[in-house]
Amino acid sequence: MIMDWPSSLPRPERQTWQRSLQDGRRKTQGDAGPARYGRKLSRVAQTVTMSMLLTRDLRAVFDRFYEVDCAGGTRLFNMPDPTTDGWPLLGSDGLPLLAADGQPLLLSKLWLCSWGDTPPSETLVGIECRKTFSLQVLP
């Protein structure tokens, strides 16, 4: 069963956000000259590293999701893409597009994720907790 990311958790901090693509190339080294690259994988996963600043209550939500819902980081889960989901849809003039009732139209995008190679780490920041973790966003 695929779990859903808890909606009560905040968006990740911008300053710690990092995304990289899995290398989907095949390298061939000839006898002379530069290496050649060809396609090895047609679709590749992304590794996303991020952190969240959490209150004591939200830390408990995060820990329960990781430990119980995701069985210690072994189960897949759906997470709203923090760079897309919930942001206003903009027109060519840069202004938000509105629905008939005047509300802005919002973008929606879900990621299918697995937890990264190392479990989430935590540091204390005053009375809050910063959780740092990485995810594999599956193609």
Q: Is residue 64 part of a domain?
A: yes
- Domain of 1? 1-6+45-80+109-139
Considering the entire predicted model, what is its pTM? 0.81
Reported as a single tens digit per residue, the pLDDT across 30-52 is 777 777 766 666 677 899 999 99
- Confidence (pLDDT) at 30: 72
Closest-CA residue to 80 (of 54, 55, 106, 43): 106
Q: Is residue 15 part of a domain?
A: no
Asked if 51 contacts 9 with a C-beta cutoff of 8 angstroms, the reply is no
- Confidence (pLDDT) at 102: 93
φ, ψ dihedrals at 16, nearest 5°? -105, 0
Bridge partners, residue 19, by sequence: 48
Report the number of distinct structural domains present in the chain: 1
Lookup: tokens for 44: 């590749």
Closest-CA residue to 111 (of 73, 74, 91, 82): 82
Q: Is residue 98 part of a domain?
A: no
Q: Is residue 18 part of a domain?
A: no
pLDDT 10s digit of each residue in the chain, 139 long?
Answer: 899 999 999 999 999 999 887 766 666 777 777 777 666 666 778 999 999 999 999 999 999 999 999 999 999 999 999 999 999 999 999 999 999 999 999 999 999 999 999 999 999 999 999 999 999 999 8
